[in-house]
Structure 1
């Protein structure tokens, strides 16, 4: 299929990374255009009704929402990443949605205004990873030896903890930890972000003015910090 594909992106968006991983797994050529989501251009808003990335332009037709983009690519470009059997496919779609819930938990982590809220966010994420530990098999991927769309969803999840201190999130969870390490070594996952991603992510986190920002900068909160964060 020779239709021109353009991925409209933001440099830090984990949902964009999902689409980029799938494109790379399928060895599909595509153009990538980054937009500034703080100053959204009119052409982008015409493509993305919700004003979010990613958007995939397929010969001029715009698809938005990462799950939709990944499913489209899986239906139209080999090799298939979803299982053939309908129930197994539905199960993996459910765990893709679980991955979105984990990303929401990470957003709570880097937005927490004080150490108490930060501790709660870490504890909630720990609970999510314990749920994953209970369903993972021998690996190396979510579905065993088949790399699938669930793996494309979790590559960006684990990448956050190359910059964010993982604390005890993965302690005593050997299957989750092995999955994390396998994804970190997968070429499609590594290449889904541009050079300097980690520095840009760290800069974004430091600018949040949150409890995690202070932890990353090595500055403990004082009274005035706590007042600004309420």
Structure 2
């Protein structure tokens, strides 16, 4: 029997990883379909108004429904599926978590600039912006091990793919982004151990990311020792 959920994916996309982690944390079966975003299939463009991944295709009585935008998909997974709660019950706390999920997206926007720029000044500005944002995250973290303490949440699902970039970047050059954020460093280590986080990408992730940097002639690679 086919899985009732199909996740349209790309192997490097951090937004896809959010959905994969949420589904895994809840123990929900799904089919993952990776596509080439450089040559998007027509069937994908027909169901994705923005032409972006992830898209979650949900089987319903009226046929298949395609959901787009990663935070919307994660919220649907939380609202519709059984398993561990990934959002707080309290409305105010839940809203705070949603705000920090958006903050994670802002960090990803800076990361895109960091990894694709060929300009040293732009690179330096993006590195500084990312470090400043993580300084704000440091102030929001408690005792851990996760964002909300003992409970893994959707905020953790958002930040785990961000930290994964640095697992590859650290092999190239020390960007010193986390030097002044000990809580963030501990959080990063804890998330890297999480089975749902580890399984959100394939074993070829690091190679694919390095290939991506090469294709963009990234300034980051020029900093390698």
TM-score by length of 2: 0.93
Structure 2 counterpart SS, 1:164: helix
Distance 1:193 1:3, change over 3 A: closer
Match of 1:123 among 114, 119, 128: 128
Q: Tell me the residue number matched to 2:42.
A: 42
Deviations 1:49-103 (A, max 9, x none): 1000000011121111100100000001122210000000000000000000000
Match of 1:141 among 143, 146, 153: 146
Deviation, 1:193, is 0.3
Contact 2:3 2:29 (8 Å CA) reproduced: no
Q: What is the RMSD computed on CA atoms of the aligned residues?
A: 1.3
C-alpha distance in structure 2 between counterparts of 1:198 and 1:46, whole Å: 31
Unmatched runs of 5 consecutive residues or more in structure 1: 219-230
Structure 1 counterpart SS, 2:169: coil
Contact 1:14 1:157 (8 Å CA) reproduced: yes
Contact 1:8 1:53 (8 Å CA) reproduced: yes
1:196 aligns with 2:201: no
Q: Tell me the residue number matched to 2:157.
A: 152
Q: Tell me the residue number matched to 2:72.
A: 68
Structure 2 counterpart SS, 1:49: coil
Residues 155-170 of structure 1 aligned to structure 2 (within 5 Å) = 155-165=160-170, 166-170=174-178
Deviations 1:98-151 (A, max 9, x none): 000000010111122222221111111110010011110000000001100000
Structure 1 counterpart SS, 2:223: helix
TM-score by length of 1: 0.91
Structure 2 counterpart SS, 1:163: helix
Unmatched runs of 5 consecutive residues or more in structure 2: none
Q: Tell me the residue number matched to 2:192.
A: 184
Q: Tell me the residue number matched to 2:221.
A: 213
Deviation, 1:3, is 6.4
Deviations 1:188-213 (A, max 9, x none): 00000012111111111121112113
Count of residue correspondences? 216
Residues 23-34 of structure 1 aligned to structure 2 (within 5 Å) = 23-34=23-34
1:7 aligns with 2:12: no
Q: Tell me the residue number matched to 1:52.
A: 52
Structure 2 counterpart SS, 1:107: helix
C-alpha distance in structure 1 between counterparts of 2:215 and 2:169, whole Å: 14
